[in-house]
Amino acid sequence: MSELDDLYQEVILDHGRRPRNFHALPGADRVAEGLNPLCGDHYKVFLRLEGDRIAEVAFEGSGCAISKASASLMTGAVKGKTVGEAERIFTAVHALITEGPDRADPAELGKLAVLSGVSAFPTRVKCASLAWHALKNALHADAQVASTE
Ligand code: ZN
């Protein structure tokens, strides 16, 4: 494994152990749920919008380290962004996780490049993308539960 892979793995382990923005958001005006029955990952994503901007974002629930780390990284990446910017980040992350690093726009990814290793593990793709699908549903005020199935 390369040094970069080691670094990426360390970041993911850290976010899995100490997830950021990991709490309910009482003032949320958007809530969406994400469920990955294959692994048992189950989260709620909360958003509070100010106009077109994501003023606050948080999540709660439980699941494996990858799903929790990805959700934690997601909250850090989209906080303060506009809905349009958050959608572009979603697109870049989705491409990164499902198709690999060559398919994602590095400018949109920034720190999220740490998720690049996930594409090599097909069984973990659903874990890593779960919170992002829930985010997308929340942005669109879609009340449906985002399921990876
Ligand atoms: Zn999982």
Chain centroid offset of residue 36 CA: 13
CA of 35 to the centre of ligand 1 (A): 10
Is residue 21 in some structural domain?
Answer: yes
Overall domain count for the chain? 1
CA of 87 to the centre of ligand 1 (A): 23
DSSP one-letter string for 61-115: EE--HHHHHHHHHHHHHHTT-BHHHHHHHHHHHHHHHHH-GGGS-HHHHGGGGGG
Q: Which domain holds residue 83?
A: 3-139
CA of 40 to the centre of ligand 1 (A): 6
Is residue 148 in some structural domain?
Answer: no
Q: What is the pLDDT of residues 65-102, one digit of tens each?
A: 999 999 999 999 999 999 999 999 999 999 999 998 88
Which residues keep their CB under 5 angstroms from ion ligand 1? 39, 41, 64, 67, 127
Task: Identify the CATH number of the domain in which residue 60 sits.
Answer: 3.90.1010.10
Is residue 33 in some structural domain?
Answer: yes
Q: What is the pLDDT of residues 118-149, one digit of tens each?
A: 888 888 999 999 999 999 999 987 656 667 76
CA of 116 to the centre of ligand 1 (A): 16
Is residue 145 in some structural domain?
Answer: no
pLDDT at 58: 98
Is residue 149 in some structural domain?
Answer: no
